[in-house]
Amino acid sequence: EAQVTQNPRYLITVTGKKLTVTCSQNMNHEYMSWYRQDPGLGLRQIYYSMNVEVTDKGDVPEGYKVSRKEKRNFPLILESPSPNQTSLYFCASRSFGGGQGNTEAFFGEGSRITVV
């Protein structure tokens, strides 16, 4: 079964305490990305990765780091979380298909992170 798995699903943490949200996909997709979902704003891309060891900033990268050491995994790191990073986070993966950007993105179930 095609899957994108995120952990944790829910977390309440304190300001400044480093946390990592893991993401793993089993579809051998080259492209992976992280989004945050906030009320009234839809989903905004944080970081993306075209392949192993290739990562780049999305629209809202401040306060986040990522790494792509293996094709299947793409963890999101909040080095020093702040309350404005309280959000619902989604990991997604896509194949490149024909290179036309028309392939389906598969999403994880989301990680609700609250920073107090």
Partner 1 sequence: GDSVTQMEGPVTLSEEAFLTINCTYTATGYPSLFWYVQYPGEGLQLLLKATKADDKGSNKGFEATYRKETTSFHLEKGSVQVSDSAVYFCALSDLTGRRALTFGSGTRLQVQP
Contact set with partner 1 (CB under 8 A): 4, 31, 33, 35, 40-45, 48, 50, 56, 58-59, 90, 92, 94, 96, 100-102, 104-105, 107-110
Tell me whether residue 101 is exposed, middle or buried, using C-beta atoms within 10 angstroms of its C-beta: 0 to 12, 13 to 18, 19 or more: exposed
Phi (first) and psi of residue 84, to 5 degrees: -75, 0
83 phi/psi in degrees, rounded to 5? -55, -30
Nearest distance in Å: CB 90, partner 1:
6
Nearest distance in Å: CB 104, partner 1? 5
Element (H, E) at 16: none
Name the residue nearer to partner 1 (CB basis): 69 or 100: 100
Nearest distance from residue 42's CB to partner 1, in Å? Answer: 4
